[in-house]
Structure 1
């Protein structure tokens, strides 16, 4: 298996960004995406974003996503948040897995993520095969693709 060489600055940016999202509240929702109607606050749902290694222990990073009820069609509407539909992991991490599946095995991607203190099971990564990754903007660091969504993750922390 190839050795994993990631610049420490990149690891720091990603680790700080992911761990800094713990407890973050995503609450931006303007209108109902189904009918365009006005929405009224309903509740806040806690969602798992990632599992990281911190102080040699597993830590689950969760975010809070505001849910609203449409006043017209009564459907439940989630605020804009970094998740793909039906995938229980933050979209920047999904993006990382998807673009790297083009050139690396799921086991190797899991090893790369672990080097960044992020735990993702290879079987979870394999389950993403077949999802189109052509839309994901990324940069190449020594044969590892980093999506801009992951490199810019700490920008979310600046809007608190």
Structure 2
């Protein structure tokens, strides 16, 4: 269940972003697509990188670059499901044991990285066979069961991630009073 939830992300393009620049409200244009490693899986006798593609946009006025919404926590190099699993396991086990358990589950991550991720908030989990499994991984397993091609927006919705500050959707004021404040 865990490795199949992670492999869902392989080759998926994330391109959702607001229509205007968060900094100056200028128009955004597609700039390029960056490949980012989402996870590293143990695949038989070797390893396999799971990569995602993140679209970057450039503002037409202030020329700043903005990333589309992506399945990564700020300042992390692994995808949200991998980080959540590492954090959940590290609440119950020491860092070296967490890295060993992840390796047994097919996810390659070192104990130093687990230690760094331990500073992040603890995700909601469900205990399965004595292992705390993040609810986000369970939600992703529903997409695995459906099969077929999955869009980046669907994966972000399954992860129930809040929009990033750098790519938050514009919020229209609900009333005139709110607009005047």
Partner residue of 2:154? none
**Aligned 1:40-79 pairs, distance under 5 A:** 40-79=29-68
Larger radius of gyration: 2
Report deviation, 1:158.
Answer: 4.8
Cα distance in 1 for partners of 2:96, 2:61 equals 47
Asked whether the 8 Å contact 1:30–1:38 carries over to 2, the reply is no
Report deviation, 1:81.
Answer: 1.0
**Aligned 1:5-154 pairs, distance under 5 A:** 13-31=1-19, 32-133=21-122, 136-153=123-140
Instruction: Count residues with an aligned counterpart.
Output: 146
Report deviation, 1:82.
Answer: 0.7
Q: Which consecutive unaligned segments of at least 5 residues does structure 1 have?
A: 1-12
RMSD: 2.1
Cα distance in 2 for partners of 1:98, 1:24 equals 24
Q: String of CA shifts for 1:69-102, please: whole Å, max 9, x gaps.
A: 1234322111111111111111111111122222
Q: Which consecutive unaligned segments of at least 5 residues does structure 2 have?
A: 152-181
Report deviation, 1:36.
Answer: 4.2
Asked whether the 8 Å contact 2:87–2:117 carries over to 1, the reply is yes
Cα distance in 2 for partners of 1:149, 1:34 equals 31
Report deviation, 1:126.
Answer: 1.0
Cα distance in 1 for partners of 2:32, 2:7 equals 24
Question: What secondary structure, in the 3-state scheme, does the structure 2 residue paired with 1:33 have?
Answer: coil
Cα distance in 2 for partners of 1:35, 1:143 equals 50
Partner residue of 1:159? 150
Bigger shift: residues 150-159 or 117-126: 150-159
Cα distance in 2 for partners of 1:79, 1:27 equals 5
| TM-score, normalisation: structure 1 | 0.79
| TM-score, normalisation: structure 2 | 0.71
